[in-house]
A = this chain, B = another copy of it.
Amino acid sequence: MIKVGIIGSTGYAGAELVRILMNHKEAEIVWYGSRSYVDQAYASVYRNMFELVEDKCLDDNIAELAERVDVIFTATPQGYLAGVLTEDILNKVKVVDLSADYRIKDVAIYEKWYGIEHKSPQFIEEAVYGLCEINREDIKGKRLVANPGCYTTCSILTAYPMVEEGMIDANTLIVDAKSGTSGAGRGAKLPNLFCEVNENMKAYGVASHRHTPEIEEQLGYACGEEITINFTPHLVPMNRGILVTEYASLKKKADGTYPTYEEVKAVYDKYYKDETFVRVLPKGECPETKWVEGSNFVDVNFVIDERTGRIIMMGALDNLVKGAAGQAVQNMNLIFGLPENEGLMMVPMFP
């Protein structure tokens, strides 16, 4: 049985880790870290866990934690893990970091977009970017996994086959993303109040959201060159779910025509047919966030627009599952050599 510690267990992503791991056969949570609720019963912070979790919240002493557990999940603000991680800790435990600290290989880009100094850049090289469907083999056995962001996972997986196969001009990529409000966290801030979000919709972080360079870096690896894209997140009045709508110019084939639906579908199937958690929908079906709610699935599909020469790609996932806690558990499974889907076969809940 793998012993699990969570730092930041009372945020929404941390709480989702708890929900998922409770039905994981090979793991048990032994440390519910939460700086804000030390000594309070976890179930008093998340009453849904009443009679399910008996533990109290503990502080986030990562050094002590490293002695007690086999794997640490850090669902913490940017900069936290980079500020406390040491070689000694990594020698003792595996770390799956749900923050952005080790996602971006170029520390200058990290520091520019996040506006903070990176306190332990020496681990960036070692950290593997935990987008399981793409970096599966690299993740196995690793000490440090940088769990991708919620927007990023959805944005990358939706476009990846087209970029990797060179079927689109990656620099024309525009990602218009829509997210449920749990992505904004559980902090008590005015813009996240019910009356401010309900019956409302807005873009935010336009041309400046921190997930942009993460998408650019990963898709840049896929096409073998540096790219710049547009990424625009939006806040939607729903709890969970990310939907991305992506636009890119299709490259014409040698005969001067655009690839057909069947040709593009074959490309998607090449990458995702054997993937448990990526579902390429039937022709004509647009992904809906509700079809994946509560599950680790990503649903993707596309439409070719010959009028404009563009492809419209769409993807949907649950930001707290495949966009955070679910993928983190998937990474844990890979690290420890467990079946990759262990604990993750939650059936999407509808309605």
Contacts and interface: CB of A to CB of B under 8 A. Distances in A.
Given A23-B347, A351-B199, A237 B234 contact: no
Interface in A256-305: 279, 281-282, 285-295, 299, 303-305
Contact of A193 (B194, B207, B314): B194
Given A23-B347, A207-B312, A230-B310, 10 more contacts: A50-B282, A182-B351, A201-B243, A202-B286, A230-B247, A230-B305, A230-B308, A232-B312, A236-B236, A294-B294
A279 to B, nearest CB: 5
Interface residues of A, number: 83
Most B CB atoms within 10 A — which of A19, A50, A201?
Answer: A201
A105 interface: no
A229 interface: yes
Contact of A48 (B239, B292, B305): B292
Interface string A219-237: 0000000001110101011
A127 interface: no
Contacts of A178: 178, 201, 234, 236
A16 to B, nearest CB: 9
Interface in A147-185: 171, 174, 176, 178, 180-182
A349 to B, nearest CB: 5
A263 B49 CA distance: 26
Contacts of A46: 350
B199 A314 contact: no
A238 B198 contact: yes
A74 interface: no
Interface string A302-326: 0111011010101010000000000
Given A22-B347, A294-B349, A314 B203 contact: yes
- What copy number does this chain have within its complex? 4
12 contacts: A23-B345, A48-B292, A48-B350, A50-B299, A176-B245, A178-B234, A193-B194, A198-B198, A200-B288, A230-B310, A232-B245, A294-B294
B236 A198 contact: no
Nearest to A44: B282
Contacts of A51: 279
B48 A348 contact: yes
A351 B289 contact: no
A35 B288 CA distance: 26
A45 B1 CA distance: 39
A338 interface: no
A195 B12 contact: yes
Nearest to A200: B290
A254 interface: no
A345 to B, nearest CB: 7
